[in-house]
């Protein structure tokens, strides 16, 4: 089966600019996750969708981050305006249901804010 697709792979922007990331999960996977992974740390959940509804966005900095999953398939994550500390890898993952079914991760988008 095709994996989780993410784009772009790399992005460099200046602080205060905006940026958007795209994720296409595995076909049929109802649950989609966005994680932020800062260098040297484990991934931190930003937002979890079940179909097109939000299950958990408690760690999403809502003043600057937003995410949507229209039609319960593809998802976009946006940062506006970006800060230096947003430099990280943004990972998208999907699963059939809950995490008990296992995740499949995409390769991530490496964001550098200068």
Residues binding another protein (CB under 8 A): 4, 40-45, 48, 55-56, 91, 93, 97-103, 105-108, 110
Q: Least distance in Å: CB of 35 to another protein?
A: 8
Nearer to another protein, 80 or 98 (CB): 98
Angle at 85 between CA 95 and CA 68, to 5 degrees: 35
Q: Least distance in Å: CB of 66 to another protein?
A: 22
Nearer to another protein, 101 or 112 (CB): 101
Contacts 24+ apart (CB under 8 A), 5-10: 5/106, 6/90, 6/91, 6/92, 6/106, 6/107, 6/108, 6/109, 7/109, 8/109, 9/107, 9/108, 9/109, 9/110, 10/109, 10/110, 10/112
Nearer to another protein, 28 or 40 (CB): 40
Q: Least distance in Å: CB of 114 to another protein?
A: 19
Q: Least distance in Å: CB of 7 to another protein?
A: 13
């Amino acid at each position: 089966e095709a994996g989780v697709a993410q784009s772009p792979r790399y992005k460099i922007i200046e602080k205060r600019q905006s940026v958007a990331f795209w994720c296409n999960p595995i076909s049929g996977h109802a649950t989609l996750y966005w994680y932020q992974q800062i260098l040297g740390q484990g991934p931190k959940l930003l937002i979890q969708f079940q179909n097109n509804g939000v299950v958990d966005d408690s760690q999403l900095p809502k003043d600057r981050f937003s995410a949507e999953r229209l039609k319960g398939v593809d998802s976009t994550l946006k940062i506006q305006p970006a800060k230096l500390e947003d430099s990280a890898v943004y990972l998208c993952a999907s699963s059939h249901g809950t995490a008990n079914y296992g995740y499949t991760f995409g390769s991530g988008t490496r964001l550098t804010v200068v």
